[in-house]
Every structure is written in structure tokens, then in C-alpha cells.
Amino acid sequence: MRFVVYSLLLLVFLLYLGIRFVRVLIKMRKPVVFPVTAEDWEAIRMQPKKPIGRLVVSDQKTAVWIHSVFILIFTALVLYELFTTKYNTLFLFVFIPSLLNLPKLWNLFAVQEDGVLAGQRFVPWDRMQSYTFIPIDIHHRFYGYSPELNEGYELMIQTKWSEVSCLVTTETVKEKLAQLLDE
């Protein structure tokens, strides 16, 4: 009986991840307030060595494909274990760290009219509590990846339960972002 409960918990978790996935795909179609210029696109990064990709599925297709295939395969495994009499559901919990690291595949950041889209998370304006720009100095974890990043900032947006971050490489883009987030 407890294996059925484990399977149902995994299905609820997968449903939550699927809803977040669909929400990001829907938000990718909305108009973007920031970044709009080529300079803005080059100055924002989710990963230290790679500027963010455009907010279209074709630029994010690796993340979309891997994310959707992984969720579908994992859901099929959970359903198979739920409807067979083997009840080996515990081995499926090994895949949870992989599911939690899937958002790192998404290389996108955008400020929209109703919130901020960062990676695989959308944070509405009313859920943001604060933001800070942390200078990237010699003691920062991203120091040394590239010369332009060494003089940049890490933007940390704090929500009630978690935080969202991106890397900003220029002072002008930092000021634009601060102005948008202050509104």
C-alpha cells in the first residue's frame, strides 16, 4: 500500500513540474519589456559563459525537448510501476535530483508586464519581496569565467520561498533592470 502512496506522490510532483513547464511555454509567447536591444541580450546571462537565448521555442529547443521527454518518460515509469504488481517505486526517487536540475537547461531571462521569467520559473510582481545586485568580486563563485563577467553583478530576486538569479555584465543594463524592478 505504501508503494501506491509513493507513486501518487511522484505523480503529484510530476503534475506540478508539468504545470510549471506549460506555464513557461505560455509566458514565452507574451511581449517582453526587457531585454529589447542587442546590448541588453548580450549583457544578461543565466550561465556564466553564455548570453541568454531569445524568448522563442526555437532558441530554447534543447531545454524544451529534454524537459518534456524526461517528464514523459518519468511519468510513464511511475504509471507502469503503479499499475503493475512489482511495486518497486522507491528506485524512482533516484531520478528526483535530475528533475530538480532540469531548470538549469533553460537559458532565458525576461522582464514582462506581469513579472519576471528566469530559467524555468515565472515570478509575478506581487510575489517578489526584494532584489539585490551582488558585485562579482574575487570571492564570488562566478569570478574568473570571463573578463566582462568579473566586473559584473549577480541579480538576486527574493520571493517568499526561494530566489531567482541572473548575471548582469554591464553597468547600464544593471541600471535599466533596477529601474524596471523598482516600478
The string of DSSP letters for 88-113 reads -GGGGGGGHHHHHHGGGG---EEEET
The model's pTM: 0.71
Rg (CA), the chain: 19
Confidence of residue 5 (pLDDT cuts 50, 70, 90): confident
The domains of the chain are located at 1-30+61-105, 32-53+107-183
CA–CA gap between residue 161 and residue 7 (Å, rounded): 26
CA–CA gap between residue 27 and residue 16 (Å, rounded): 16
Class of domain 32-53+107-183: mainly beta
The yes-or-no verdict on residue 4 having pLDDT over 70 is: yes
Q: How do residues 13-41 score in pLDDT, each as one tens digit? A: 888 888 888 888 888 788 888 888 888 88
Displacement of CA 87 from its chain's centroid (Å): 33
Give the per-residue pLDDT at 60: 66
DSSP 130: E
Secondary structure class of 33 (helix, strand, coil): strand
Confidence of residue 111 (pLDDT cuts 50, 70, 90): confident
Name the more confident of 103 and 138: 138
Residue 7: name the closest of 100, 78, 85, 95 by CA: 78
The yes-or-no verdict on residue 90 having pLDDT over 70 is: no
Under 8 Å between Cβ of 103 and 120: yes
